[in-house]
Structure 1
Amino acid sequence: MKYLLMLAVFVLSLGLPALAEEEAPKLEEYAYYGFEPEIVTNYISNRKKLGFVRISVELMVKNPDDMVQVEKHDPLLRSAIIEILGNQPEEKIKSLTGREEIRRECYDAVNKLMEAETGKALVVNLLFTRYLYD
């Protein structure tokens, strides 16, 4: 009886790791593309002094192979982000909710441009890793 119990445990232990490997979901391989140098541009200021914003932007792509396409279109994407930032009022630049709206607008613009150039939206997320203003 002891022998049968040990044999059953042994047989089951051989099959369970194989099942666990088959059921384990594959982890996504995300990659990040950072614009170098940082983006620095002016924005619409309420004061007589010119306002500026300095940001670091990272684009998150789902497939690391898509990094080539993102890098190829870096100047186009950078230009779109600069244009969006330059058209923002001071209140929006300086508020947390405004910053999130700007980030979302940049994300949408970048994906629209990538879809026009490559046929698919490659960017999963757009992150501001540094956001300074004056």
Structure 2
Amino acid sequence: MSFFRCLVFSCITLLSFTAGGAQGQQKVNYAYLGLEPDIVTNYVGQNAVRLGYVRVTVELMIHDVEQLETAEHHMPLLRATAIEIFGNQPEEKVKSLTGREDIRRTLLKAMQNHMKKETGTEVVRDVIFTKYLYQS
């Protein structure tokens, strides 16, 4: 397991304990699902002649383990959403840390909206980028 994944897991575990203590004995039952293979797509460079590409490893935090099968069933929709959102981003946003966070939040909201429309519930609690590479 890579250092970054261990760090993310440790932070999530710590947050789970903190949230559980503050809210009583509520059991947190999150699940994680990776969009495999990595999302690889083009984005528009500073001029229309030049394209860049981005490669992102995306992990989804699912609200409940029982919703994991539902999320897996809708994986083509979730992947298509990620590819579309990354493909529509300008170069400045793809390359900046604040832009990356904006993309993550946009992706989360879009996935939640799609899942709510398809299943009646958001299913996806959070989106985590574990690898983020770009080239212009």
Same-fold call, TM cutoff 0.5: yes
Tell me whether 1:35 sits opposite 2:27 in the alignment.
no
- Which amino acid is the alignment partner of residue 78 of structure 2? L
Cα displacement string for residues 43-89 of structure 1 (whole angstroms, at most 9, x for unaligned residues): 01115442000001111012101011100010111111111111110
| TM-score, normalised by the number of residues in structure 2 | 0.78
Q: Counterparts of 1:110 and 1:53 in 2: how far apart (Å)?
A: 19
Count of aligned positions: 112
3-state SS of paired residue (1:41): strand
**More strand per residue: 1 or 2?**
2
- 2:120 is aligned to 119
Q: Which runs of 5+ in 1 are unaligned?
A: 1-22
Q: Counterparts of 1:62 and 1:113 in 2: how far apart (Å)?
A: 15
- Which amino acid is the alignment partner of residue 124 of structure 1? R
- 1:11 is aligned to none
Cα displacement string for residues 102-124 of structure 1 (whole angstroms, at most 9, x for unaligned residues): 00000000000000110111111
Q: Give matches, 1:1-134, under 5 Å.
A: 25-46=25-46, 48-134=49-135
RMSD: 1.5
Q: Counterparts of 1:86 and 1:33 in 2: how far apart (Å)?
A: 22
Q: Does the CA contact (< 8 Å) of 2:44 and 2:50 recur in 1?
A: no
Question: How many percent identity over aligned positions?
Answer: 50
